[in-house]
Structure 1
Amino acid sequence: MRTTRFDDLTREELARLAPGATVVVPIGSIEQHGPHLPVCADTEIITHVARSAVELAAETASVLVTPTLPFGLAQHHLPFGGTISFSSKVYLDLLTEIGTSLVNDGFQRILFLNGHGGNVSAAAMVADRLAYEYRLDAHIAAASYWECGADSLAKLDLDGAPAPGHAGSFETSCLLALRPELVHTDRIPPAEGELQPLAEQSAFTSTVRLPEVWQRSDGRTDDSHSASTELGHIALKMIIADVAEFIVRFHRT
């Protein structure tokens, strides 16, 4: 079966595929995830979701996936340590250069698939920048996996915790399913009975920034008491199906 991995192909193979293919660019982050999760959590999740969804979408469409960009906009995590972040200007320029390179390669459908909350506005701005400022002759999209899978995520039993949230029940479940050896279950914070202040900020439908909310929340939205390996497998399977459906719809535009 033909590979869906951009980086496994030669320049000639990519040139032949480019005009009729959608290329998915996964974007993640390296940042603190509380006392119990590895700093690669966002990158691990989006890499798995992107590769699996592209394989599923490739059954009905010509789709490729690039290597994941592991670093993103994570300035708000820097006070905790364990974080590597671009500044907003550098990150916008970086995503723009990736997009222009792919159009240079002949691709006319590009999807930035995001796995980190701090990247949301930047990815959307880059899509606008490429389409309206650079006027590239290509279809450009930016989407986060939780946007594609919003209906599915709403069905998960997380005892009121947000999905995806940050370093809480959802992400802990996903890492238990993907990389259990990296989850320090003995360091999971004890059940606290209520969400962290950070979850209150994320509950708004508009963009709200509260002073020191990350520090007051210990860099997490909830305490992971609902996390399980089974929940992680269920959540990932649903999200992958939703993202694959989105990719195919975008490809057919």
Structure 2
Amino acid sequence: MFTRYEGKAWEEKFLPRLTRKQVAELPKENALVILSIGAVEQHGDHMPVMTDALIGEATLTEAMEKVGPDEQIWVLPPISYGKSNEHIGIPGTISLSASTLAGLVTDIASSLKASGFRRLLLFNTHGGNMDLLNVIAREIRISSGMMVFYLAPSSLNVASDLMPAEELEFGIHGGDYETSVVMHLKPDWVQEEYRVKEMPGMERFDYLTLESKIRFAWKMNDVSASGILGDATAATAEKGKIIQERVTDILAKAFAELSRFEIDEFVKHNK
């Protein structure tokens, strides 16, 4: 079970617990700073509105336990709120505007740059943030010269043997994947008796999809009556544990790789 603000991520690698002297003296040549960005929004009648932010914090906490002791990988306080206006009007949803979230992330990046850091990872666990954060990442790269990365743990394709193809494509909100993970992390936070299955009626389309091929703009009430997309009835804590183990194994290695990445090497390598 996940316990907030315990473990290596928060006791050893939580950047704000250091003094200004300690931050100034950190070796920053191969340092990566991670900003977790989630959401507080409705996830149907069975899941907490904290779902996305919870998964982000817990996944980062677990991944940092697997990072080598000499790695210069640092964690910032998470941004729990995201751009969730596709859920506005459904109880429990608290959304930032696109401009507010962009301003927050950009200001944080500018501050890190002023402290001498060169690499920032935007660690995102809310689908509604994805397009905006990719735009922000490039804008920060252009304005600051920092190396900026974007990563969504759910995109690591670790559940292909755990769920059917329909769920992998359309179970994007409160379905099997997210429900399984929260059942593993915080079982008491899931109201299991209210779990349902709801899939969008996309089978009649050859090209139109929710998040691939040809997309259309939608808000949750356009595509779901229950507030979820996916099969929450199939979720188990055991699947959630497997997902988290696989994801955090990958992340620990990925963080180390990102901390050594030099974007200038691309030009040199391709000459």
Query: Is 1:64 the equivalent of 2:74?
Result: yes
Q: CA RMSD in A?
A: 2.4
Cα deviation for residue 235 of structure 1 reads 0.5
- Superposition TM-score, scaled by structure 2 size: 0.82
The structure-2 alpha-carbon separation of the partners of 1:173 and 1:91, relative to structure 1 and needing over 3 Å to count, comes to same
SS of aligned partner of 1:157:
coil
Alignment-derived partner of residue 19 in structure 2: 10
Contact 1:197 1:217 (8 Å CA) reproduced:
no
Cα deviation for residue 92 of structure 1 reads 0.9
Cα deviation for residue 137 of structure 1 reads 3.4
Alignment-derived partner of residue 130 in structure 2: 120
Q: 5+ unaligned residues in a row in structure 1: which ranges?
A: none
Alignment-derived partner of residue 259 in structure 2: 251
Of 103, 107, 111, the match for 1:97: 107
The structure-2 alpha-carbon separation of the partners of 1:99 and 1:206, relative to structure 1 and needing over 3 Å to count, comes to farther
The structure-2 alpha-carbon separation of the partners of 1:157 and 1:60, relative to structure 1 and needing over 3 Å to count, comes to farther
Query: Is 1:196 the equivalent of 2:195?
Result: no
The structure-2 alpha-carbon separation of the partners of 1:68 and 1:18, relative to structure 1 and needing over 3 Å to count, comes to farther
Alignment-derived partner of residue 24 in structure 1: 34
Percent of aligned positions with the same letter in both sequences? 25
Contact 1:201 1:210 (8 Å CA) reproduced:
no
The structure-2 alpha-carbon separation of the partners of 1:71 and 1:125, relative to structure 1 and needing over 3 Å to count, comes to same
Query: Is 1:81 the equivalent of 2:88?
Result: no
SS of aligned partner of 2:26:
helix
**Could you tell me how far apart the structure 2 residues matched to 1:51 and 1:197 are?**
37
Cα deviation for residue 203 of structure 1 reads 5.0
Q: Which amino acid aligns with 1:80?
A: I
**Could you tell me how far apart the structure 1 residues matched to 2:25 and 2:39 are?**
32
**Could you tell me how far apart the structure 1 residues matched to 2:213 and 2:12 are?**
39
Q: Which amino acid aligns with 2:193?
A: D
Q: 5+ unaligned residues in a row in structure 2: which ranges?
A: 1-7, 262-271
Contact 2:27 2:72 (8 Å CA) reproduced:
no
The structure-2 alpha-carbon separation of the partners of 1:187 and 1:72, relative to structure 1 and needing over 3 Å to count, comes to same
Query: Is 1:145 the equivalent of 2:153?
Result: yes
**Could you tell me how far apart the structure 2 residues matched to 1:212 and 1:66 are?**
30
Bigger Cα Rg = 2
Cα deviation for residue 97 of structure 1 reads 0.6
Q: Which amino acid aligns with 1:109?
A: R
**Could you tell me how far apart the structure 2 residues matched to 1:70 and 1:198 are?**
31
Query: Is 1:175 the equivalent of 2:179?
Result: no
Alignment-derived partner of residue 217 in structure 2: 209
| Count of aligned pairs between the two proteins | 246
SS of aligned partner of 2:89:
helix
Q: Which amino acid aligns with 1:3?
A: E
**Could you tell me how far apart the structure 1 residues matched to 2:224 and 2:52 are?**
22
**Could you tell me how far apart the structure 1 residues matched to 2:160 and 2:16 are?**
35
Alignment-derived partner of residue 237 in structure 1: 245
Query: Is 1:38 the equivalent of 2:44?
Result: no
Cα deviation for residue 129 of structure 1 reads 0.6
Alignment-derived partner of residue 57 in structure 2: 47
**Could you tell me how far apart the structure 1 residues matched to 2:221 and 2:168 are?**
16
- Superposition TM-score, scaled by structure 1 size: 0.88
Deviations 1:9-57 (A, max 9, x none): 2222222225232111100000000001000000010111112223323
Cα deviation for residue 125 of structure 1 reads 1.0
Contact 1:54 1:64 (8 Å CA) reproduced:
no
Contact 1:51 1:65 (8 Å CA) reproduced:
no
Cα deviation for residue 107 of structure 1 reads 0.9
The structure-2 alpha-carbon separation of the partners of 1:196 and 1:221, relative to structure 1 and needing over 3 Å to count, comes to same
Of 121, 124, 131, the match for 2:141: 131
